[in-house]
C-alpha cells in the first residue's frame, strides 16, 4: 500500500496574552487556544458510490444500495475517505492556525472489519504515516507541539495491546518529527509525560488500552504486575511530580473510563483506581481529554464518601433533569470524531495561558465545536466546517473549572432548551 501525503490537523482558540512556549520549542507568543482532534480512521480503500453494507469498499449489485458519498457514509460502519480527511485538514490549514498546541487522541488507522480487505501491519503503519504527513503539511510542528496517543485501532490487532507490542518502536520513529519526550515509559507501555508545551502546564499521556475491557491481552489492574496496575503507579508518580514542581496537568488518552450511557469501558479495578487518582489529584488536573466514542460528552468527578465517582451528563431527558453535583474534583471532556459515525467534528479549546492570572494555567475557559453537515456536503460536493456551538453560551458559564462544571450541570438540569441542545450536540447534530 502506498503512503498517502495529506494535510495536518490542529487547533486554535481565544487570543489571550501569555508567556512563551517551553524551552525545547521555539519562542512563540501564546494565543490561549489549542486543538483537539480525534478518531480520524483514514481509509485509502474507501470507494465513493459503493455500498455501506460492504464497508464502502465495493459496490452492490443493487444500485440503490450504493449510497456511499464522496465525503463519507453517515451513521455506518465505513471509515473516513481520503476526501474527508483532506478537506478537514484543509479547513484547519486555512482557518485554525492561531493555536498553541494540538492534542490528538488516537485511532488513526481504519477498522479491520472487512474480511475481503484484510488490514496488515504495514497498512496500519502506512495510515499512521499518512496522518503524520497531514499534520506536518498543515502546521509548523517545530513551534506548535503535537501530542498524539494510541487508540484501540492503532496497533496490529484491534483492541489487543501489550507491553511487548512492536507498535511503540514503530510510532517512536513515525512520530519523530513531533519532538516528543517519549522515553522509557513509552517503550515500556506507550505512555509518557510531555513537558515542553506551555510554561506551567504538563501533559500526562496515558495508554488507555491497558485499562480497556475489550483488551483481552491484559489483566485487570488488581492483578500483580498487570500492565494497567503498573501504569496506575506511573500515573500517580507523575501526579506527585507535578505537585512537587508546582505545575498543572492535562491528562489525555483514547478510551474514556465510561461510555455515553454511563457504563464502564475500563475493567472494574482499573476503573475504580483510575477515578480515585483523578479525584485525589483533581486540584492539579485542569482537564482530561479523550475520544473513542465519537460523541460529545461531559463527565464530572465528585467525592463519594472516602472515594470518588463519575457523574456523566448522559443525553437522556430524565438523567439531565436530575443532574446534580455539589463539590467537583475534576472534569472529563470527550470530543467527537472525524470519522462520520456522527457528523465529522473538530474542537478548539480556549485556556488560561499564564501565571498571575485569575485562574490556574491550563484552566479551560471555553471551546468552539466545529462540524460538517455530511449529507449536505455529499449533495453539494463541498465540505464546509461550521460552528456547531460555543460552550460558554450552551452552558452559561465563563470557565470550565470545578466550579464552572458544577454550574454547567445546573444549567442542564434547570434549562429545558439547554438540555435539548446538549442532547443534539452529543451526537453532533445528528439527523
Q: Is residue 8 part of a domain?
A: no
**Rounded Cα gap, residues 227 and 217, in angstroms:** 10
Residue 300 lies in a domain: yes
**Distance separating alpha carbons of residues 413 and 10, to the nearest angstrom:** 33
- Which residue, among 183, 198, 163, 130, has the nearest Cα to 349 in the 3D structure? 198
How do residues 248-296 score in pLDDT, each as one tens digit? 999 999 999 999 999 999 999 999 999 999 999 999 999 999 999 999 9
Tell whether 323 is covered by a domain.
yes
CB 102 within 8 A of CB 146: yes
For residue 351, the SS3 value is: strand
Per-residue pLDDT, 156: 87
Asked if residue 25 is part of any domain, the answer here is no
Question: Alpha carbon of 107 to those of 71, 135, 359: distances in Å?
Answer: 19, 15, 33
pLDDT at residue 355 in the model: 64
Write out the residue range of the structural domain in which residue 240 sits: 33-426
Q: For residues 116 and 291, what is the distance between their CA atoms, to the nearest angstrom?
A: 28
Q: What is the pLDDT of residue 8?
A: 37
Q: Which of 292, 329, 290 is nearest to 311 (CA)?
A: 329
Name the stretches of the chain with pLDDT < 70. 1-28, 355-356, 431
Residue 13: the pLDDT is 36
Number of structural domains (the chain) is: 1
Note if the pTM is more than 0.75: yes
In a domain, 6, yes or no: no
DSSP secondary structure string, 63-99?
GGG---BTTB-TTSS--B-HHHHHHHHHHHHHH----
Q: Is residue 4 part of a domain?
A: no
The strand pair at 145-148 and 33-37 is best described as: unpaired
> Is the CB of residue 310 less than 8 Å from the CB of residue 260?
no
pLDDT digits (tens, 9 = 90+) for 22-49: 443 445 689 999 999 999 999 999 999 9
Strands 101-104 and 145-148: parallel
CATH of the domain at 364: 3.60.21.10
- Residue by residue, DSSP assigns 301-319 as EEEETTEEEEEE--S-HHH
Determine the Cα–Cα distance for residues 147 and 151; give it in Å rounded to an integer: 13
Please report whether residue 204 resides in a domain.
yes
| pLDDT for residue 15 | 36
Closest CA to 132 of 151, 104, 155, 90: 104
- Cα–Cα distance, 67 to 69 (Å, whole number): 6
In a domain, 22, yes or no: no
Amino acid at each position: 500500500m502506498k503512503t498517502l501525503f495529506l494535510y495536518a490537523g490542529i487547533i486554535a482558540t481565544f487570543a489571550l496574552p501569555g508567556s512563551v512556549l517551553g524551552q525545547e520549542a521555539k519562542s512563540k507568543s501564546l494565543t490561549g487556544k489549542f486543538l483537539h482532534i480525534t478518531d480520524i480512521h483514514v481509509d485509502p480503500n474507501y470507494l465513493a458510490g459503493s455500498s455501506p453494507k460492504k464497508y464502502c469498499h465495493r459496490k452492490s449489485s443493487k444500485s440503490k444500495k450504493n449510497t456511499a458519498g464522496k465525503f463519507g457514509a453517515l451513521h455506518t460502519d465505513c471509515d473516513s475517505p481520503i476526501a474527508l480527511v483532506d478537506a478537514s485538514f484543509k479547513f484547519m490549514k486555512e482557518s485554525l492556525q492561531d493555536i498553541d498546541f494540538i492534542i490528538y487522541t488516537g485511532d488513526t488507522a481504519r477498522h479491520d472489519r472487512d474480511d475481503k480487505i484484510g488490514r496488515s501491519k504495514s497498512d496500519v503503519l502506512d495510515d499512521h504515516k499518512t496522518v503524520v504527513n497531514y499534520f506536518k503539511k498543515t502546521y509548523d510542528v517545530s513551534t506548535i507541539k503535537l501530542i498524539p496517543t494510541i487508540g484501540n485501532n492503532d496497533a496490529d490487532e484491534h483492541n489487543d495491546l501489550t507491553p511487548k507490542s512492536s507498535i511503540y518502536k514503530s510510532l517512536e520513529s513515525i512520530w519523530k518529527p513531533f519532538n516528543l519526550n517519549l522515553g522509557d515509559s513509552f517503550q515500556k507501555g506507550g505512555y509518557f509525560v510531555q513537558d515542553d508545551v506551555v510554561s506551567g502546564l504538563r501533559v500526562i499521556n496515558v495508554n488507555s488500552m491497558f485499562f480497556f475491557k475489550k483488551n483481552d491481552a491484559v489483566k485487570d489492574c488488581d492483578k500483580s504486575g498487570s500492565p494497567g496496575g503498573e501504569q496506575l503507579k506511573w500515573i500517580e508518580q507523575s501526579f506527585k511530580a507535578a505537585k512537587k514542581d508546582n505545575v498543572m496537568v492535562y491528562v489525555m488518552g483514547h478510551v474514556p473510563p465510561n461510555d455515553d450511557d454511563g457504563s464502564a469501558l475500563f475493567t472494574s479495578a482499573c476503573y475504580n483506581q483510575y477515578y480515585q487518582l483523578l479525584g485525589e489529584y483533581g486540584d492539579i488536573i485542569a482537564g482530561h481529554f479523550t475520544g473513542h466514542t465519537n460523541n460529545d460528552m461531559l463527565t464530572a468527578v465528585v467525592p463519594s464518601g472516602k472515594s470518588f465517582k463519575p457523574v456523566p451528563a448522559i443525553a437522556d431527558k430524565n438523567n439531565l433533569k436530575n443532574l446534580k453535583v455539589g463539590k467537583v474534583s475534576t472534569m472529563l471532556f470527550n470530543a467527537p470524531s472525524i470519522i462520520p459515525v456522527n457528523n465529522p467534528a473538530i474542537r478548539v479549546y480556549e485556556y488560561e495561558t499564564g501565571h498571575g492570572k485569575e485562574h490556574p494555567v491550563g484552566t479551560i475557559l471555553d471551546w468552539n465545536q466545529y462540524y460538517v453537515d455530511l449529507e449536505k456536503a455529499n449533495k453539494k460536493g463541498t465540505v464546509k466546517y461550521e460552528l456547531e456551538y460555543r460552550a460558554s453560551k450552551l452552558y452559561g458559564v465563563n470557565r470550565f473549572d470545578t466550579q464552572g462544571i458544577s454550574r454547567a450541570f445546573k444549567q442542564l438540569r434547570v434549562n429545558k432548551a439547554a438540555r435539548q441542545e446538549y442532547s443534539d450536540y452529543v451526537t453532533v447534530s445528528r439527523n
